[in-house]
Amino acid sequence: MKVLLIGANGQLGSDLVKKLANEQLVSLSHQDIDICEPVGTRVTLRRYAPDVVINTAAYHKVDECETNVEKTFAVNTCGVRNLALACKEQGCALLHMSTDYVFGGDTERRTPYTEIDPTHPINVYGVAKLAGECFIRYIMDRYWIVRSQWLYGVAGASGKGGNFVELMLRLACEGRDIKVVDDQVGSPTYTLDLADKIAQLIKTDHYGLYHITNVGECTWYEFACKIWELSGLNPNAKPTTTESFGAVASRPAYSVLDNAALRGIGLDDMRSWEEALTDYLEARESLGKAHR
Ligand SMILES: NC(=O)c1ccc[n+]([C@@H]2O[C@H](COP(=O)([O-])OP(=O)(O)OC[C@H]3O[C@@H](n4cnc5c(N)ncnc54)[C@H](OP(=O)(O)O)[C@@H]3O)[C@@H](O)[C@H]2O)c1
């Protein structure tokens, strides 16, 4: 199978490169393709004639998105539309990455969201990503839309210059007083595990919408405490609230995703977020990323 991967040197993209090593893989970085350019996107797809396109490209600095609305929609909505049109013209399938931030408006919710739950984004990024999903559904028949959340991987999010795990390790090593939000609940997800599941999914013809995350849930503070515990660190850290933290963009208080559709097609649940985190910390150590 010929797979064209967009965002190949990003956090998820670089783990997909590892998991798709046995496929005929075309790995494209932002320098090779800009999905905001409709003509260039069509020409690139025609040149490589893939069977499947995987799109990990996004503008996902969630707080910046609130003020940089044009860019948010240019990449996450219009760029996705350009790609869907090019895939349709080329006759290839598309796997596109989306987000738990399509949810959040139901402030009472405390049970995992399934794929059939109504969406209700509460920030500009979530609105733009949901609009991107809508364009794919409207334009294409053969697509997989994968929503995931709280991603971390050894490459770090190139759009954000790192990931939450690395930030928590760095702050602890610098001996800082740390405050971490303790009233947002999600499922931390290791991009290597997600990439493995995506590699399985694109071999099926079970098209549609999927939630894919590591199993289990925690707050950002609980996630941080587990990172420090597993790394033998004991920083001066305190839980705080979303309100006191005062981020620019609103974020869901609860956005855990039930991976119901994945189970429905007979693919196993991913391992727990704690097991995945343990492996991640070992992987980063073996890459020489010391935390002290
Ligand atoms: N990170 C999370 O916690 C999270 C949570 C839920 C969902 N997601 C979704 O998962 C996907 C992957 O996230 P990630 O953390 O792996 O992100 P990432 O590391 O920032 O990777 C995104 C890649 O896309 C490239 N890109 C950006 N704009 C582009 C454009 N216009 N055309 C082509 N390439 C472009 C980036 O290149 P440059 O950096 O060179 O611009 C980067 O290599 C995204 O769709 C994101 O919305 C992420």
Q: DSSP string spanning 67-133? A: H-HHHHHIIIIIHHHHHHHHHHHHT-EEEEEEEGGG----TT--S-B-TTSPP---SHHHHHHHHHH
Q: How far is CA 137 from the centre of its chain?
A: 19
What Rg value do the Cα atoms of the chain yield, rounded? 19
Distance 6 CA to ligand 1 centre (A): 9
Q: DSSP string spanning 244-267? A: HHT-SS---SB--B--HHHHHTTP
Residues that are catalytic: 125
Q: How far apart are CA 46 and CA 33, in angstroms?
A: 13
Residues 212 and 198 sit within 8 Å (Cβ to Cβ): yes
* Predicted local distance difference test score (pLDDT) of residue 1: 96
* Predicted local distance difference test score (pLDDT) of residue 292: 43
User: Among residues of the chain, what percentage have pLDDT more than 70?
Assistant: 98
Environment class of 144 (CB within 10 Å of its CB; exposed 0-12, middle 13-18, buried 19+)? buried
Tokens of 28: 């494209």
Distance 56 CA to ligand 1 centre (A): 5
**Beta-strand pair 93-99/218-219:** unpaired
Q: Which atom of ligand 1 is nearest to the CA of 36?
A: 31
Q: What angle do CA 29, 89, 148 make, to 5 degrees?
A: 50
Dihedral sign computed on CA atoms, order 179, 181, 187, 190: negative
Ligand 1, atom 2, lies closest to the CA of: 151
Residues with CB under 6 A from ligand 1: 6-7, 9-13, 29-30, 33-36, 56-60, 75, 79, 97, 99, 148-151, 157-159
* Predicted local distance difference test score (pLDDT) of residue 286: 87
Q: Which atom of ligand 1 is nearest to the CA of 101?
A: 6
Residues 42 and 63 sit within 8 Å (Cβ to Cβ): no
Helical H segments across the chain, by residue range: 11-19, 38-48, 62-67, 69-73, 79-90, 124-139, 164-173, 191-201, 220-230, 242-245, 260-264, 273-286
* Predicted local distance difference test score (pLDDT) of residue 273: 98
Helix (H) / strand (E) element for 145: namely strand 143-148
Q: Which residues of the chain have a pLDDT value below 50?
A: 292
Q: How far apart are CA 93 and CA 45, in angstroms?
A: 12
Q: How far apart are CA 259 and CA 247, in angstroms?
A: 28
Tokens of 61: 């600095």
Residues 290 and 138 sit within 8 Å (Cβ to Cβ): no
* DSSP assignment letter at 268: P
Ligand 1, atom 10, lies closest to the CA of: 97
Distance 59 CA to ligand 1 centre (A): 6
Q: How far apart are CA 252 and CA 281, in angstroms?
A: 27
Rounded to the nearest 10 degrees, what angle do helices 220-230 and 164-173 cross at?
A: 60
Q: How far apart are CA 87 and CA 207, in angstroms?
A: 15
Distance 115 CA to ligand 1 centre (A): 22
